[in-house]
Structures are given as structure tokens and as C-alpha cells.
Structure 1
Amino acid sequence: MSDRITSVTVFSLTLPRDVPYLGVARPGEEPNARGYLVRKGNRTVYPTFDRSILVRVEAAGGLVGWGETYGLVAPGAVAAIINDLLADFTIGRDPSDPSAVYDDLYDLMRVRGYTGGFYVDALAAIDIALWDIAGQIAGKPVCELLGGSRTRPIPAYVSGLPKATRPERAELALHWADRGFTAFKFATPVADDGPAKELETLRAALGPEARIAADMHWNQDAETALRLIREMEPHGLWFAEAPVRTEDMAALARVCDESTVPVAVGEEWRTEWDLLNRMDRCHIAIVQPEMGHKGITNFTRIGHIAAERGMDVIPHATIGTGIFLAASLHASAALPTLRCHEFQHSIFEPNRRLLEGSMDCADGYYRLPEGGGLGVRPSQEAERLMQKI
């Protein structure tokens, strides 16, 4: 066909932040020379800036699709995988069947055990771009290619309260409540007075009807996670996210069995196999696919498996320019058990100038971008900031 892929180009885009993700650095969290800091509460590295990997895929007929994945740390790793390996196996392919291309690219490294990490992140960016082109070829938004839009607009919850003190974080939550949002999530690694006290303060500020979740950042063993959940429970905990280390399936199984609060997991997973290998052992209540790690193909597969097993889907959001957020909204709108979608306001709001398109989040709901494919593309300002790598 005339629309076969002709080129794949990789860019990085870096933006400064006034305050690092999750809020001001605590004592002992000073950034290094590369701008990376380690949060003591979860022992995980974060940059002091926003950074994404963007992929521009062009077809012979002149159509251009955009994809995006994480570039927070070591962005050259993702770029090298695409430039040295994946691009040449994508060029010449038919973009109208993105899942077939994805499966072929995934299998390239099967015998080497590359089932996650930077490799599958790189695949996600290409997959999103191919779905963008497929939608443009069909003259339909991606959500319609995936079976139609079940949920529009999409309910959103406010994620992250990056202020220095507990009263300030409650005040920020109230700011968003006044703008029509009724669901919220805080991060336990930066709940300096403990998760229970944090939730108690938020509950007092937001009232009994607000839904409030806790992101526990994979930082506990089962015993500790269950204790913290029990301490938060009297204050009305919506769900407990990532309560134990992702490698420890036995701990997850125990927490799912013993917690009376719904347990949510899956942000860091890359493929449907991560869910399949856990769901018979762990009574997971909520699945949280993250588009930047999975691409539309695996995000959708995970969502449908979750629906078959009666699990709710509340996708993780985005730390990027908005390309993979748009993809996440399109894929989410087609899922049977979608309940809500994360709204990373501290990234979405300052970075919305980087996109052209009608995507928005207001009054507690996301509005999907309109038009064929994803319905968004980098703005002229974004293209000026992008660096080819």
C-alpha cells in the first residue's frame, strides 16, 4: 500500500520545573550535577526537570504520527534502541495494523529476555505513533478504532499535592475541589508526618464525600503496607496504590488478601503478561495501566483482561508533553471497566502549551482531543525545543 512507513525520528524535549516532581527536595535530597535527586521516602531517582522522548513516524503518503515515552533518566538508552534497532524494522511496514507491528518488534528480542524496561518503553512510543497514523488513514479518532467511545468525558482525579507542608497540601487540594474535582491522591513518600496524618488532614479539608487515595510507591514489605493501610482506613481511604515492591508477588498477594481497602497496581508493568502472571495469585481490585510504558496495544490488552476478571481500570497518567496522555485517554475511553483517570496537574497545566489540539481537563473531567488519530501534535514551541537524538 502507499502509506507504508518511510522514516522514524527520535527527539528529546526537556523543560525546567520551578519545583521538582512530588514537591520541594527534603534535606538529604539535593540534586547531583545531572539534575537528578533521590527521594528518601521511596529511594527512587527523579529529575529536577520534565523530559520526554518523542518519536515522529512518517508514511509514504505524507501522514505523520507522533509517539511519546519516558525520558526522565538516561534518555539516550531509549533513543539508541529505536535508532539502532527498531526504526529499520518499522520502516516499510503497513501502519494500518499497529498491533501486528508491535508484536513483531517485541519478538525481536524475545530470546534475550527483553520483556520490560527501556526496550518496551521504546516500543510504546513507536506503537502510539503508528496508531496515530492508523486513525488518520481511517479518518477516525483512535478511540473509535479501538471499538468506540464508552466513556466521554472521562472522570479525572487530582494526583499529587506538591507543597512543602501538610496544611499547604490540604489548601492545594481545596483549590482543585473548588474547580469541580471530587477525587484526589497523595504520595506517601512525601507525607512527612505519616500517611495517616496526611489523609486525616485532607479528609478534614475536603469533607466526607471526597475520594482520597494513597500512592505508596512500592516501598514497603507486606507487614508494613498492611499496617499503614489499617492506620489510614479510619479516614476513608479510596484505594492503596503500589503498596509493596513490584518484584514481590507473594507480598502483593498477602496485601490483596488481607486489606479491606482496594489495592491498585500496574503503573510500572509493560505488557499483558505482567497482569496475567499475577491475577490468579493476587486479588487485584484496580489495574493502573500507564501509556508511556505500554503503548496503545498493550494498554488496551491489559484493560480488556481486567474487564474479563471484574477489575476496575484507573489508568496512571503522564509525565511528558501530552502525546501519550492523549493516547491514554483514547484507549481509556474504549475500556469496559474504566472508572477514572489520573490528572497530573503539576505537569499538564504548565506543559499544555506544548500541544496543538483540543485536549483539556476541567470541572473534574477530561475532554478527548478531536480529529483523526490522536488529535494532537507538538506545537511550534515544542518543535523549537525538541532536540534530535
Structure 2
Amino acid sequence: MNIADIETIPLRIPFSAGGKSDDAVWGKRGLQTADSLVVKVTTDTGLVGWGETFGFHTVAPARIVIDTILKPELVGRDATQIERIMVEMQKKFHVFGRSGAFLHSLSAIDIALWDIAGKSAGQPVHQLLGGTDATSLRAYASLSRYTDPELVRINVQRAIRDGFRHLKLHEIEVPAVRAAREAAGDDIEITLDVNAPWSVREALDMAEKLRPYNLRWLEEPVWPPENYAGLAQVRRDGGIPVAAGENASTLMDFQHLLAAGAVDFVQPSPAKMGGITELRKIYALAAAHNTTVMVHTFYDGPGLLASVHASAALGGRNAIVEWRYFDMEAQLYGDAILPRQGAIDVPQGPGLGLEPIPEVIRDYRIA
């Protein structure tokens, strides 16, 4: 069963998020459209697999990498040899770097090949990863950055009304975090992702101010994100559990992160760091370091499904899935994957278990 074709499909879907976003870390201020890159891999037997890269400003370079570098290399290759393909492509093209657009692109193809593997075997991907008895997983609502405390309060309350008991903020100012805790009360779990803005000293000063708000974790507090020694210092002295890993790539990056004792929660992002092939290795590595995996999933296509399958099979009953809390004008899978009362279904069909809706691709595809 060989790879016959690889097609890149850029999508742009409008959304609302309960108010205009402030300085959005995923795009421009006031961002109101979500760009994504879906990848369709077709075999010579007619099986189709779907993958996804991380979106927003990363779509254009990832598409160039797939169309001009990876597709010519991979068409004709055995689609069942996923591990071999991933290693050989990383070795051959390491001159482009071990992260960024190249690895995002390879991640999407890896996810698509796992989708094909499951369809070929007639089993869901979670079964290929060891199986699970979970039919649903808890989800946390991952909110936009608003900065305005009143908008934060409104959207925290909105998420709670939608059934979420776990929330993630992307705020970087104390009044916004205070508003979230006041709106949520003491029984709702709140995490805070600040997207790597601070020096170690600034992060420690902010941690002191944030401690009263009982955060489950403080995510990526240090710039640059690969300053693992600095992260370890914030973890040791800041008084709040630390999470990171969204910007780490491949097994070795995570080895360095965990060996530094930098995190309480490690957050591999399958559409960035090597797909399911690398993601499953991170679970074993994290277990060896007594660290909890919380998969980063700020997307809602095949990358989300990959996260759900891996979390269900490898994460155990404590797994919580990130849900991008945007009101999308259209969902790639309709309502099949929408959380209900704060829980997301684990697809049971072969492969990733769901197929993109052709009309959504037709209506929201961009050139």
C-alpha cells in the first residue's frame, strides 16, 4: 500500500469568541478567523488519511514544505512504514531545522498515515495505541486573550454554563486572572497560558502575584521557551505548578525539558512536534520522569482527533483534552466532536474515526 498523492487544503473559518481578542498570540489583534492546513494523503489502494498542521500564520510555510519538499519524497513510499518514513525524513532534511514549518508539515503527514493505518486494520487509532475503555474524556475550555477583565468574566461564566469545569486563560495581566477566579468561584479548575513572555525574574515576580488565584498550572512563563533551566527555577521557586512543551519538538527536546526538571505537566502538540509517532514516545518518557502529559490541542481538525485518541489510550482517566473555545462558523466534523457538558467523545470508527465534511472544505477552502 503506497502513498499515491498528498494534497494540502488551507481553510479559513470565521469565528467569534465572546468579544474581540486583544493582542492575540495566534495572529493579529482582533483576530476573528481561524486559518488551518488540512492534509489529505491518498494511497494506491484508495484509502485516504487526514492530517493537520498547526494553523494561523504557520499555514503558508507548511504548505510550501509539503508541496515542494515532502510530497516529491513520499509519493510512492510504503504508507505502512510510518516510523521509518518519519526518521528518514527528519534525517534527510534536518538542515531545515528540527522544529518549525518542516516538522509541522511532517506531523500532519504522520497523523494522516496513522489514520490510514487504522482504516486498513479496521480499528480506531486508540486501539492501535494500546486500547481504551474510555468513550469520552473531560475537556477544558481554552479561551482567547481578552485583557479586559469584564470580557474575561463574561466568557468564563459562558464556558461554565456550557458545562466546562476546567478552563484555560491566555491572559498576561493580574486583573484579568482575578476576574476569572471571581467569576468561576473556587470549584472550577483554572490554568493560565501566558505564551512565553517573561524573563525568569519577571516570571517569578508574576507568580508571586498570581498565587492567590489557585492556578492548576502556569504555562510557558519564560522567554525563550527552550530556557529549560529558567523554567525549572520558576517551578522550584514560583509556588505554582509549571506546564510547557507546546514549542518543544521531537523526542530529544522533551528529553532535555524533562531532564531539567522544568515542568509538572508536559504538553506535546501533535500537529507541531512529530505527530502520533513522536507523541506516543513522550508518554513513556514522561512516565519515566513522573510527569503528567497534557496534550496541547489548539486546533479542531485531525490534530484534535489525534490528541483525543492518544489521550484516551495513553493518558489514563486523568487525561483532559484542550478544546479551543471559539464559536466557529463551521466545524470540520459538524457536531460530532463538539464537547457536551465539558466532555468530548472518543471516536470509535476506524482510523481517526471521523471524516471531514466535504461541504465545509468546499465552502471555506482558500487558494
TM-score, scaled to structure 1: 0.86
Q: Distance in 1 between matches of 2:171 and 2:162?
A: 24
Measured after TM superposition, the shift of residue 104 of structure 1 is 1.6
CA-atom RMSD in angstroms: 2.5
Note the alpha carbon deviations across 1:271-297, whole angstroms, 9 max, x for none.
111111122223410011112212111
Matched, 1:223 2:201: yes
State the partner residue of 1:180.
Answer: 163
Residue correspondences, number: 363
Q: 1:213 aligns with which of 188, 191, 212?
A: 191
CA-CA distance at 1:352 after TM superposition? 5.0
1:42 counterpart residue number: none
1:180 to partner: Cα distance? 2.3
1:43 aligned partner: none
AA partner of residue 263 (structure 1): V
**Partners of 1:296 and 1:327 within 8 A in 2:** yes
The reply to whether residue 340 of structure 1 matches residue 320 of structure 2 is yes
Is residue 199–residue 212 contact of structure 1 (8 Å, CA) maintained in 2? Answer: no
Letter in 2 for 1:307: A
Partners of 1:10 and 1:77 lie apart in 2 by 12
**Of 327, 341, 347, which residue of structure 2 is paired with 1:369?**
347
Tell me, which stretches of 5 or more residues in structure 2 are unaligned?
Answer: none
Match of 2:154 among 171, 179, 187: 171
The separation in 1 between residues aligned to 2:135 and 2:100, in whole angstroms, is 32
Q: Post-superposition shift, 1:232?
A: 1.2
Select the residue among 229, 232, 239 that pairs with 1:250. Answer: 229
For the pair 1:6 / 2:4, whether they are aligned, the reply is yes
String of CA shifts for 1:317-374, please: whole Å, max 9, x gaps. Answer: 223x52211111111111246531211121xx42553226832311111112231001
1:1-389 aligned at under 5 Å gives the runs 3-18=1-16, 24=20, 26=22, 37=28, 48-73=32-57, 75-110=59-94, 112=95, 114-149=97-132, 151-161=134-144, 165-189=148-172, 194-195=173-174, 197-245=175-223, 246-294=225-273, 295-319=275-299, 321-336=300-315, 338-346=318-326, 349-350=327-328, 353-355=331-333, 358-385=336-363, 387=365
3-state DSSP of counterpart to 1:334: helix
Over 3 Å counting, the alpha-carbon distance change for 1:164 and 1:267 in structure 2 is closer
Write out the 4+ residue segments of structure 1 that deviate beyond 4 Å after TM superposition. Answer: 161-164, 386-389
Task: Report the alpha carbon displacement of residue 266 of structure 1 after superposing the two structures with TM.
Answer: 0.6
CA distances 1:149-176 after superposition (whole Å, capped 9, x unpaired): 2644211111115557313322321222
| 1:16 partner amino acid | P
Alpha-carbon distance in structure 2 between the residues aligned to 1:251 and 1:16: 38
Determine which structure has greater relative contact order: mean sequence separation of CA pairs < 8 Å that are 6+ residues apart, divided by chain length.
Answer: 2
| Unaligned residue ranges in structure 1 (runs of 5+) | 40-45
For 1:211-250, what per-residue CA distance to the aligned partner results, in whole angstroms no more than 9, with x for missing partners?
1111121000111111111111122111100010113233
2:13–2:330 contact (8 Å) kept in structure 1: no
Structure-2 change in CA distance of 1:163 and 1:222 (3 Å): closer
Equivalent position SS for 1:11: strand
Q: How high is the sequence identity, in percent, across the aligned residues?
A: 29
Normalised to the residue count of structure 2, the TM-score between the two structures is 0.91
Instruction: Determine the C-alpha separation between the residues in 2 that align with 1:124 and 1:89.
Output: 15
